[in-house]
Amino acid sequence: MKKLIINADDFGRHELINCAVERAFNSGCLRSATLMAGGAAFEDAVKLAKKISGLGVGIHFTLANGNPVLPPEEIPTLVTAEGIFHENYVSFLKRYLSGKISLAEVRSELAAQLEKILRTGLTLTHFDSHQHLHHVPGIVKIALDLATAAGIKSMRVADAKLFDGELKNIGQFVGRLGLGSLAKFVAFQARRKNISTPEHFAGIVAGESVSENFMLKLIENLREGTTEVMLHPGTDNKILQEFCEWEHDFEEELAAVTSPKVLSALKEKNIAAINFSELRSKS
């Protein structure tokens, strides 16, 4: 049977993202979200998650482009002089590859993020990470160890395809190529830990937004098994683009997963919209 997991990243980053998750669940096909422990709207997201029965909530491990949970003085290699994470995955990877990132600090911070969410009483269905940093060798081991100890059974493998969406520049090409290569290693590590993953990944990973047309084409050509689509939906582009410092079309992604055409196509093709709790562990 063909199944689809629509997952909203950055749950808890801003209340307008939280609102989009609620709307996409109630009026669309979204059934999953990953919670950012250091997000400014974390408490609001937790309340919402507890209210929406059927929403699968995972942890969105964060090591770049956000706020840490631990005091900055406890994780000096992970933060700037202002006490926040470095700007993006490029900045993080440059420091990581030059030996300037402490894996002990990575473990401490990710453990603190996980503990913060678990203290809310939420049962986590899966994990992924902000800007896909859980795919990095060394960091994936930490994430898998923490998830296994916490009883988390599933994770994202962002097996990015080179030609999902329009290639606008060489940076997008390199990003997809690199992430797709790392995904093979991550999938192998997940199998060793008996962590289940969707068979396919269809999110666009290089900054573009998932459109109604993208969703319709995906549904038309959906493969057997489970496919995850990564989204970053929101209700107000102007506010969110300024807040996130990211020229992303949050509104388009919300429109895509609440589109009557998309919902009709899912029904016509008998495709089930599920969350990560419905995956089966693979040995």
Q: Is residue 12 part of a domain?
A: yes
Q: Is residue 271 part of a domain?
A: yes
What does the pLDDT read at residue 209? 82
pLDDT classification of 182: cutoffs 50, 70, 90: confident
What does the pLDDT read at residue 202? 87
Copy the structure tokens of residue 189: 């590590």
pLDDT classification of 161: cutoffs 50, 70, 90: low
Lowest mean pLDDT among 34-48, 62-76, 156-170: 156-170
Copy the structure tokens of residue 111: 């453990």
Copy the structure tokens of residue 175: 């990003």
Mean pLDDT of 236-247: 96
Alpha-carbon gap, residue 190 to 128, rounded angstroms: 12
Q: Is it the case that residue 283 has pLDDT exceeding 90?
A: no
Mean pLDDT of 151-172: 66
Mean pLDDT of 160-187: 59
Alpha-carbon gap, residue 283 to 158, rounded angstroms: 20
Alpha-carbon gap, residue 68 to 85, rounded angstroms: 7
Alpha-carbon gap, residue 151 to 125, rounded angstroms: 9
pLDDT one-digit tens code per residue, 255-282: 999 999 999 999 999 999 999 999 864 4
Alpha-carbon gap, residue 18 to 33, rounded angstroms: 10
What does the pLDDT read at residue 204? 62
- Total structural domains within the chain: 1
CATH no. for residue 159? 3.20.20.370
pLDDT one-digit tens code per residue, 54-103: 999 999 999 999 999 999 999 999 999 999 999 999 899 999 999 999 99
User: What end-to-end distance do the CA atoms of the chain give, in Å?
Assistant: 20
Copy the structure tokens of residue 76: 């000096």
What does the pLDDT read at residue 181? 75
Query: In percent, how much of the chain has pLDDT > 90?
Result: 84
What does the pLDDT read at residue 180? 67
Q: Is it the case that residue 30 has pLDDT exceeding 90?
A: yes
Mean pLDDT of 97-124: 98
Q: Is residue 84 part of a domain?
A: yes
Q: Is residue 150 part of a domain?
A: yes
What does the pLDDT read at residue 241? 97
Q: Is residue 17 part of a domain?
A: yes
Reported as half-sphere exposure (CB side, CA atoms, 13 A), residue 242 has a value of 3
Q: Is it the case that residue 170 has pLDDT exceeding 50?
A: no
Lowest mean pLDDT among 61-65, 142-146, 150-154, 174-178: 174-178
Instruction: List CB contacts of 264: < 8 A, sequence separation 6 or more.
Output: none
Q: Is residue 283 part of a domain?
A: no
Mean pLDDT of 173-180: 53
Domain with 211, as residue range(s), is: 2-278
Maximum distance among all Cα pairs of the chain, rounded to whole angstroms: 55
52: DSSP letter: S
Q: Is residue 69 part of a domain?
A: yes
Q: Is residue 93 part of a domain?
A: yes
Alpha-carbon gap, residue 215 to 69, rounded angstroms: 35
Query: Is there a contact between 219 and 195 (Cβ–Cβ < 8 Å)?
Result: no
Alpha-carbon gap, residue 86 to 212, rounded angstroms: 33
